[in-house]
């Protein structure tokens, strides 16, 4: 099972990196989301998927009564999911606004700092 999850983490991070290196802003956003999911799966895998050692044992017991999951990776992943979703929503609105104002989704056409026919700034203040 660990090999399958490690391969899946590698696949997610590879696809996310490939999409982040593209020129389309939407593909970059999707790549960032897939990359974040790969990192979340990596944290989950590092937190032991098997039940070899319980993270919390109730007081007065040497062994837990039943199967207990490790709560720390779950809390980290839940926090990362919330932060990742809010970051995706913010960047999606930012990309939409850039598309509305620049009329381009390709980053090569967004390279101009100022429009071609814009008024020149004052030479002195």
Tally of domains within the chain: 1
Distance CA 107, CA 103 (A): 11
| Rounded distance between C-alpha atoms, residue 95 and residue 102, angstroms | 10
Q: Is residue 7 part of a domain?
A: yes
Residue 83 inside a domain? The answer is yes
58 located within any domain? no
Whether 64 is in a domain gets the answer no
The answer to whether residue 59 is domain-embedded is no
pLDDT > 90? residue 56 = no
Over the stretch 26-42, which tens digit does the pLDDT of each residue have? 999 999 999 999 999 99
Retrieve residue 113's tokens: 């700092």
Q: Which domain holds residue 29?
A: 2-50+70-102
Specify the higher pLDDT residue, 69 or 117.
117
Q: Is residue 60 a part of any domain in this protein? A: no
| Residue 40 is assigned to a structural domain of this protein | yes
Please report whether residue 124 resides in a domain.
no
Residue 69: pLDDT over 90: no
Nearest C-alpha neighbor of 81 from the set 52, 114, 44: 44
Give the domain CATH number at 88: 1.10.287.3510
For residues 96-125, give the mean pLDDT: 78
Instruction: Report yes or no on whether pTM surpasses 0.85.
Output: no
CA 29 – CA 88 distance, rounded (Å): 7
């Amino acid at each position: 099972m660990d090999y399958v999850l490690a391969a899946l983490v590698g696949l997610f991070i590879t696809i996310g990196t490939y999409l982040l290196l593209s020129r389309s802003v939407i593909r970059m956003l999707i790549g960032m989301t897939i990359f974040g999911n790969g990192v979340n799966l990596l944290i989950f895998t590092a937190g032991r998927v098997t039940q070899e050692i319980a993270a919390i044992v109730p007081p007065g017991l040497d062994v837990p009564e039943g199967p207990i999951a490790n709560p720390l990776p779950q809390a980290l992943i839940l926090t990362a999911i919330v932060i990742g979703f809010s970051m995706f929503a913010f960047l999606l609105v930012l990309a939409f606004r850039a598309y509305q104002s620049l009329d381009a989704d390709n980053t090569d056409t967004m390279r101009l700092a100022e429009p071609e026919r814009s008024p020149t700034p004052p030479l002195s203040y």
